[in-house]
């Protein structure tokens, strides 16, 4: 089972390429976090829809892993 709150918390890090310990990547992480907060504020229904799709896919992957 995938924890939805954890997915929402980790999303900016998943959208950032590279390690966030480097300054350039940290700045990108912070930009993504701000953009995501704006997206949630301005369009919450679309954000929830996309998050639910992502969680559904992650649950499907989890089920497949548990089968083997």
> pLDDT for 8-19, tens place per residue?
999 999 999 989
Does residue 68 surpass a pLDDT of 80?
A: no
Q: What is the pTM of this model?
A: 0.82
The predicted pLDDT at position 10 comes to 93
What's the pLDDT score for residue 56? 96
Number of domains in the chain: 1
Q: pLDDT by residue (tens digit) across 19-53? A: 989 999 999 999 999 999 999 999 999 999 999 99
Q: Which domain holds residue 27?
A: 4-67
Count other C-beta atoms under 10 Å from residue 3's C-beta.
Answer: 11
Q: At residue 3, what are phi and psi to the nearest 5 degrees? A: -85, 115
CA 32 to each of CA 18, 28, 46, 62: distance values in angstroms, whole numbers, following the listed order = 13, 6, 17, 26
């Amino acid at each position: 089972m995938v924890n939805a709150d954890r997915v929402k918390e980790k999303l900016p890090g998943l959208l950032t390429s590279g390690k966030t310990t480097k300054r350039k990547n940290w700045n990108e992480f912070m930009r993504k976090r701000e953009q995501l907060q704006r997206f949630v504020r301005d369009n919450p229904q679309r954000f929830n829809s996309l998050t639910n799709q992502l969680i559904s896919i992650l649950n499907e992957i989890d089920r497949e892993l548990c089968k083997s």
